[in-house]
Structure 1
Amino acid sequence: MKKTVIAHSPDADDIFMYYAIKFGWVGKKDTVFENIALDIETLNTEALRGTYDVSAISFGLYPHIRNDYALLRTAVSFGQGYGPKLIRKKGTLLKKRFKVALSGKFTTNALLFRIAYPDAKIVYMNFLEIEQAVLAGEVDAGVLIHESILGYDESLEVERELWDVWCELAGSELPLPLGGMAIRRSLPLSSAIEYENLLTKAVKVARDHKDTLSRMLLERSLVRIDAPTLEKYLELYANDESITLSDLQYTAIEKLFELGHRHGFYDAAIDPKDYMIPLEYTELRYS
């Protein structure tokens, strides 16, 4: 039996999209899958080191690892009219060089923020600590991500939606690419194709059995939020558009990479379709 580790975040969307495998609803007879849950910036950092065969990543990281990892078409999270939020205390004004807490250097929200606010003084911390850092006055503002966008202290308010930043930078209302999955290029191509197909099936099965899976996650305390919040969150970030990339989502990722290159964060503007696993390989191999 082969053992394959799939690394993902402990956030509700990633848990939901993976656990059809964990619960044995989807599997591969000659492979044992193990999972590890780490915060998104830790996953990004480990991807730079090539630690895991299959890993969740921020789309904002991908151009940095494109030579070692291929992008997967499944288990993706986009914002459409919503996304990370730049928050501050009510009644305060942010100066040009305000101090801000971000969830990690390689996150998509950090990329967009750094383009939009080049003079801000950035502190990186775990996203679960950002709200308290703003409340305590350790920073002037912070960017909330994941479940944090759905509820925060009433003394805080939104300075700016990063969705609006994205739309201004992109020049359109393309979906906002936030998180995806990557697979190590050193794996045999046939195995990589099997893993992508398996993960795609897992996300589809999760969506087809959303109520049952959600109830099981809540009963086992596998998510940090309550039932109503989970329902809302999954429709944001683990919805039917998460099963496989659409042409519109491809266009959005390409725009993100082009923006990053234009502003000096990447060494090239890449087309994401050039960095996907060639699924046609299996058919061609046996034709």
Structure 2
Amino acid sequence: MYVALSLAISPCPNDTFVFHALVHGLVPGAPPVDVTYADVDITNTAAEKGEYDLVKVSYAALPWLLDKYELLPCGGALGRGCGPLVVTREGNSNVKTVAIPGERTTAYLLFRQWAEGRSFETEVVPFHEIMPGVAAGQFDAGLVIHEARFTYQRHGLTALQDLGEWWEAETGLPIPLGAILARRGVVDPAAAAEWIRASVRHAWDNPEASRDYVLSHAQEMERDVVDQHIALYVNEYTADLGDDGHAAVKALLRAQAH
């Protein structure tokens, strides 16, 4: 019997929307949850140390984590038309320095594949600092994820490349972004998957129930941006990866191995 499970997710609307019911004790039979909110570069590192029972990480980090964790087939972020963007200031085509959200993120793996043969200096920067840093001229370009798809123009930035479009053209598969892992020997993965699926169903059936919770963690996002974010990243693959989802994960891991 579980006393309480430690859970680490991002404060982004897709995660808080999906996990609202589980975090707030609204999933019958699920244990209490102690939740931590952190950027994915932090959760990737924490998972390598085995710090959480359930944790959201980048799919690209899986090779370093599967000795301690098992991949769950639900709760993550995977889809089409939702990939990372390489953004620059208007008119800047001379890119030498790039701000990235983490070296073991899916975004950076895709960037390396797309940029093969070209030379860039990269710097890991907290996600929320990337666009302001590019706009201020600290970096020539930035690798952005999540709601930045809807807001980068407000910073006077332009999209140099949509890496999701590039990936889909190359593979024909959806893009695997964030995965949910369960710690081996601590969490029953089948039970955890059922709790998370129940939380997803509750979110879809009661979209207003999580509204205040989602907005409170949404880092100054307007309601319409939050809604677009959830609509894009919480989809059929959130409930179950399915054949396409599993194929996409395998393709990404093959790319990681090269």
- How does the TM-score come out when normalised to structure 1? 0.83
Q: Which amino acid aligns with 2:100?
A: L
Q: Deviations over 1:240-272 (max 9, x none)?
A: 3311111111111111011111x2xxxxxxxxx
Provide the aligned C-alpha RMSD in A: 1.7
Specify the SS of the correspondent of 1:174.
Answer: coil
Residue type matched to 2:234 in 1? A
Correspondence 1:106-185 to 2 at 5 A: 106-118=104-116, 119-152=119-152, 153-168=154-169, 171-185=170-184
Give 1:35 shift.
Answer: 0.8
Regions of 4+ moved over 4 Å: none
2:255 maps to what in 1? 259
Q: Is the 8 A contact 2:12 2:217 kept in 1?
A: no
Superposed displacement of residue 154, structure 1: 5.0
- Residues 84-122 of structure 1 show CA distances to partners (whole Å, capped at 9, x for unaligned) of 110001111124xx1100000111001111222242111
AA paired with 1:63? P
Residues 230-239 or 10-19, more deviating: 230-239
Paired with 2:105 and 2:79, the residues of 1 have a C-alpha distance of 14
Name the aligned partner's letter for residue 114 of structure 2: A
* Structure 1 residues 32 and 23, CA gap change in structure 2 (3 angstroms): closer
Contact 2:43 2:57 in 1 (8 A): yes
Q: Distance in 2 between matches of 1:82 and 1:181?
A: 18
Counterpart of 2:246 in structure 1: which amino acid?
Y
Which deviations, in whole Å up to 9, do the C-alpha atoms of 1:42-100 show, x marking residues without a partner?
000101111111100110101111111100011121231232110001111124xx110
- Please give the secondary structure, in 2, of the residue aligned with 1:2: coil
Partner of 2:209: 213
Q: Provide Cα deviations, 1:144-189, integer angstroms capped at 9, x if missing partner.
A: 1111221123521010111133135xx332100000100111226x
After superposition, where does 1:1-287 map in structure 2 within 5 Å? 2-28=3-29, 31-95=31-95, 98-118=96-116, 119-152=119-152, 153-168=154-169, 171-187=170-186, 191-210=188-207, 212-217=208-213, 221-224=216-219, 225-261=221-257, 263=258
Structure 2 residue ranges without an equivalent (≥5): none
The percentage of aligned residue pairs carrying the same residue is 28
Distance 1:94 1:160 in 2: 14
TM-score (norm 2): 0.92
Are residues 126 and 175 of structure 1, via their aligned partners in 2, closer, same or farther at CA, if it must alter by over 3 Å? Answer: same
Aligned to 1:179, the other structure's residue is in SS state: strand
Distance 2:46 2:190 in 1: 22
Shift of 1:27: 4.1
Deviation of 1:217 (Å): 2.9
Q: Distance in 2 between matches of 1:17 and 1:208?
A: 11
Distance in 2 of aligned mates of 1:226 and 1:154: 15
Deviation at 1:11, TM superposition (A): 0.7
1:281 match: none
Q: Read off the aligned partner of 1:159 and give its amino acid letter.
A: L
What CA distance in whole angstroms lies between the structure 2 residues aligned with 1:99 and 1:133? 11
CA distance in 2, matches of 1:18, 1:125: 26
